[in-house]
Amino acid sequence: MRTKQRKLVLTAIMIIFTLSFSLSLCGCGNKISEISFPDSEKKIIAGTPYMLSVTVEPSEADTEGLEWSSSDDSIVSIEKQDGKTAKVKALKRGTAEIRCKAPNGPVAVLPVTVKTAPAAPDPGSETYGGKNPNEGVGDTTIYKPIESTQVETPEIDPVKPDPIR
């Protein structure tokens, strides 16, 4: 009787091993069940490239077939994608959605707002109270850059120690 039980146990182990090996080869056991962005929304500056990434469940799932897309390529474009990461570029002011879709169905959506970079304040603007911030402060002499021919360099004797040190 014991021999029969041992054969049965060994057969069961072989079947389980064969099934798990077959599933790992076909990728059937590594399908993405959930996909998500770390942020619920993203605000970015026009003209700037950004790297975005997603998290997948299970973590060991195959991410090679992920497809990245933008709802409006004139606002945000996908420049390069590589599995769980993608390089996107903000092109102009507006809103769009970045999507990352798994081949077996799950999708992650990231709302993106693109803003223009703030301009540097003008010294005569309201930012400075309508005044030049340097007005009335210290010397107002305009200095010209020194030409290299105007600078005298002292000769240093390599034998004598430097007097400055």
**Pairwise CA distance, residues 65 & 54, whole Å:** 13
Per-residue pLDDT of the chain (165 residues; tens, 9 = 90+): 577 777 776 776 777 766 555 555 454 557 888 999 998 999 988 988 889 999 988 988 888 888 999 999 999 999 888 888 899 999 999 999 999 998 888 899 999 999 987 766 655 555 545 555 555 555 444 444 555 555 555 565 556 555 555
Whole-number Å distance between alpha carbons of 32 and 57: 6
Q: Check: pTM over 0.85? Answer yes or no.
A: no
Q: 31-115 in CATH: which number?
A: 2.60.40.1080
Q: Where are the domains of the chain?
A: 1-30, 31-115
Report d(CA 122, CA 150) in Å as an integer: 35
Query: What's the token pair of residue 111?
Result: 């709302």
